[in-house]
Amino acid sequence: MRLPRLLIAFLLLGLAALVPLHAQAVGSPYAVTVPVADTSDAQRSQAFATALGQVMTRVAGGQDLRSNPGYAEALGSATSLVQKFQYQRAASGLVLDVDFAPASVRRLVARLGVAATGNSLVDRLGKQLNVIGAGASEGKLWVRGLESAADYASLLATLNADPSVQQVTTVGAQNDGVLLEVKASLPMGALAAKLAAGGRLLLQGQPHAGADANLRWLHGSAP
């Protein structure tokens, strides 16, 4: 079932018409939680690679590194960069919490030809954007690259985890993209940059009609 049909079903049921969001603390940029099917070695190795891909995107300031020479090899070294990991039961099923060694990740990103920052871009954005104040801002975000209902649910979960986001309404869908009306404590451009720094979304240069910012959903370590 393709995404547009799923979205129509959600909208008819009223499940995606209005999504209230609750603030959560932003964790370390080197820590990621990824879903796993089981505790097998194969699933764990794949989860480490997926998590490392997200962390490297964060450290690179939201850049898409997948086309950089050596990216596949970098993901292959994920296990050696893990400081600690832990399985947990979540509402969606089994998940794996992964923490990577910060210095090792920064060196790895540098070898891919990208200047890695010593501090999290997420943290720096938060400090810079505190001066904006707590006033609410409303606008629209276009997010493409959603291939399933699971992607759509993960996108909403990502927004749910951002403390600056107050409310989201799905107002449209086309092919693999959705148009979201967002109420947040940040302007849409700043919010989009912050979301991209989280590692699950990428900023897109070309504007989309009716949207204040254009993003693309990332599928872990998939090419």
Domain extents for the chain? 3-25+126-217, 31-119
Which residues pair with residue 169 across a beta bridge? 181
> Within the chain, which residues score under 70 in pLDDT?
1-27, 91-92, 116-136, 220-223
The first and second tokens of residue 22, run together, are 């609750």
pLDDT given for residue 160 in this prediction? 76
pLDDT given for residue 81 in this prediction? 95
CA distance 71 to 213: 27
> 129-159 as b/e, with b when 16 or more CB fall inside 10 Å?
beeeeeeebebbbbbebbeebebbebbbebb
The first and second tokens of residue 27, run together, are 């964790």
pLDDT given for residue 132 in this prediction? 41
CA distance 150 to 143: 14
For residue 106, give Cα distances in angstroms to 28, 81, 86, 152. Answer: 14, 11, 23, 30
Closest CA to 196 of 59, 20, 66: 59
pLDDT given for residue 191 in this prediction? 83
